[in-house]
Chains A and B, each alone.
Chain A
Amino acid sequence: MLNYWANYFTRNGIGVGMFLLAAVLLWMVFMIILPQLYMVDFSLRANVPPPKWGGEEHVYTLEHYKYLLYGSSKSAEQFNTIDLSVFGRTILAAVFVTIIDLCLCYPVAYYLAHVARGGWARLMIMSLIIPFWINEILRAFSFKVLFGTSGLINNALMAVGLIDQPYDFVRENVALYSGLSYAYILLMIFPIYNAIESLDKNQIEAARDMGSPWWRIHWRIVLPHAKPGICSGSTMVFMLSAGALAAPQVLGGPSSLWFTQIIYKAFNNSANWARGSAYALVLLLACIIFVLLMMRIFKVKLGEIAR
């Protein structure tokens, strides 16, 4: 360990070495650890207006967590079915979005990594990236225009004669799932692309030479090799869609509430920061536990994701 640091300083020099160390430390402490600790602190205290923060009434309590469970901070007679079901639906929907993205991105990533050549591959990557220069809100609203009852898709379908009445894509959450899947598609493609690209082409050819049909080549050779990439892409897409706010706000149907919207309301409309942070922390923990569980099931180590 001592050796490592001695090495680190001889490699980078004292000045640069200290700067890097200090910068990383400051970043970690002030940008990540402290704000989160504040949130934890908030979530465990009574909800009082800001002037009284730190005062006598600002006591420690578990009432906000209880509220999420029972819908009341006092009685424990019935569960808070509204918030809990939104919570469950959000997680499920995020899983669904992740699966859609995975199904879309794996073939594209494979194509980019092993089939497309030179200029064509670069062109494809460019055309994947450039649409993401458009900001999230604008993209969400343009999806609304696309999927609206008098939107482009409905008009086109009616013109062709496939349907004779506009289909409510927004109510049926088609717009929401499409919007979310599209929003995080790059976060899925690139990790998988990176993983697949490092696969030796000869392995694919060897499997083919031994008589393997294409699906078995993917199942036995390409997919196992891409697993760390798939895992890191899925983690990002899942975490971000579970925590998305703009897309559900704009594209969500009237019946679909996203858990983040409840958190947002707690912070903004009801000025209840304590409940907001408690809910947000529960979402964060649930997501982390879910991801770790999935990694356990699919036998991926944390270190592999970082490769």
Chain B
Amino acid sequence: MSADVTLDDVWIRFGDFVAAREANIHIEDGEFFSFLGPSGCGKTTLLRAISGFLTPSQGRVLIGGKDMAGIGPNRRPTALIFQNLALFPLMSVWENIAFALEVKGMSKLERRKRADELLDLIALPGQGDKRVSELSGGQKQRVAIARALAAEPDVLLLDEPLSALDLKLRQHMRTELRAIQQRVGITFVYITHDQGEALTMSDNVAVMREGLIEQVADGSTIYDSPETAFVASFVGENNVFQGKVNRLDQSAAVVETPYGEFCARPIQRNNQDQLRVGDDAMVFVRPEAIENAQSDSANRISGEVLQTEFEGNLWQLHVQLPNGGPRITRSSINDGRATKHQVGDRIELGFSETSAIALPTGQLAAE
């Protein structure tokens, strides 16, 4: 059994502080859904509202179509995996996993059997009698997942559960988590500030800033067609040019900037902040979309090479635009054909009009 989750105009206030506002989200049955945002953006607050530890100041939380108002966390069909995992250190591994079953009054024999099955599921067979402190970071992580799954929740909520792990393990656990989710088929709601995690695992991502959900879409839409300046600058690297809209139609916007006129794809967000001629606008170009200037390049920039960085698979080139303009980054695949540049070289670069997007001017993500 799994269930869909709906947030219906949820607001959460602590005194005068608004931790989350106008949250309207529908998470499908069996979906892997992520809340992505910098720390303090209110994503954990929303997760706690879904799990029942927080009551929204306004709005409704529905799970499986049922209004959860007045239903405590112990009676919701959700299970929460805490950021610090919160395993019970005084219980053995199998007792941890079987805690939810103990609560349900299952006999010890059955509990043990079920715990062993779950240990198999998380690839830790035969480790049930260990103490929690004897496990490694990744193993603890998996025990926490098994403990939550033992409760047979309809919705599993995960609060940055990978943030304490080192990079290698984190990447491994991403794949693992996604695999577990597909195996058990229940709804996962995942909180993270790590865009890599959000993009690789999720069916859909909600990007949040200062309590507000800026965009909800699948990973590639978020990356390719961000709807706000914040999303464009928070998810992945982006080069920004500030300017004014000169001309505009359905498929193209021409933005006048101090570094030239750029032609870009306008992203029109439903019902608000529409781009209009004469408005301030920002043009965003991904570093990998910038190439050496071709004769047919729609947009051209030139500048001076400030720094080159070799990252193995990629070359990163930092270029300073003239007259105190912005520094831009270009990255190209290290396929042996890339021309080497020296610091101080003048360089002509270009990008196509379909790879650049134009958005209304807005607040950018902090570096």
Contacts and interface: CB of A to CB of B under 8 A. Distances in A.
B259 interface: no
Q: Which one of A200, A205, A206 has the greatest number of beta carbons of chain B within 10 Å?
A: A206
A203 B91 CA distance: 12
Contacts of A200: 84, 86
A224 B92 CA distance: 13
A209 B155 CA distance: 12
A196 to B, nearest CB: 14
Interface in A188-220: 200, 202-203, 205-213, 216, 220
B74 interface: yes
B54 to A, nearest CB: 11
Q: Which one of B52, B75, B80, B91 has the greatest number of beta carbons of chain A within 10 Å?
A: B80
Interface stretch (B61-69, B99-107, B323-331): B99-107
Contact of A211 (B83, B88, B90, B151): B151
A203 B103 contact: no
A210 B51 contact: no
B330 to A, nearest CB: 44
Contacts of A205: 53, 73, 80, 82, 86
B86 A211 contact: no
A23 B102 CA distance: 53
Contacts of B100: 210-211
A210 B82 contact: no
Contacts of A202: 82-84, 86
A211 B82 contact: no
B202 interface: no
A114 interface: no
A225 interface: yes
A211 B78 contact: no
A205 B86 CA distance: 9
Contacts of A209: 51-53, 73-74, 78-80
Contacts of B75: 211
A220 B53 CA distance: 20
A203 B88 contact: yes
A209 B79 CA distance: 6
Given A210-B99, A211-B103, A221 B88 contact: yes
A206 B74 contact: no
Interface in B10-48: none
B86 A210 contact: no
Given A209-B78, A210-B74, A210-B151, A224 B90 contact: yes
A84 to B, nearest CB: 41
Interface residues of A, number: 17
Contacts of A225: 90
Interface in A19-48: none
A210 B53 CA distance: 12
Contacts of B90: 224-225
Contacts of B102: 216, 220
Interface string A255-280: 00000000000000000000000000
B73 A208 contact: yes
Interface in A127-161: none
A212 B99 contact: yes
Nearest to A221: B88
B34 to A, nearest CB: 20
B238 to A, nearest CB: 36
Nearest to A213: B74
Interface in A213-254: 213, 216, 220-221, 224-225
A31 to B, nearest CB: 38
A211 B74 contact: yes
Interface string A78-100: 00000000000000000000000
Contacts of B88: 203, 206-207, 220-221
Nearest to A201: B86
Nearest to B53: A205
Given A205-B73, A220-B99, A224-B90, A210 B84 contact: no
Contacts of B103: 210-213, 216
18 contacts: A203-B86, A205-B86, A208-B72, A209-B74, A210-B74, A210-B99, A210-B100, A210-B151, A211-B103, A211-B151, A212-B99, A212-B103, A213-B74, A220-B88, A220-B91, A220-B99, A220-B102, A224-B90
Interface of A: 200, 202-203, 205-213, 216, 220-221, 224-225
Given A209-B80, A211-B151, A220-B99, 12 more contacts: A200-B84, A202-B84, A205-B53, A205-B73, A205-B82, A206-B86, A207-B99, A210-B100, A210-B148, A211-B75, A211-B103, A212-B103
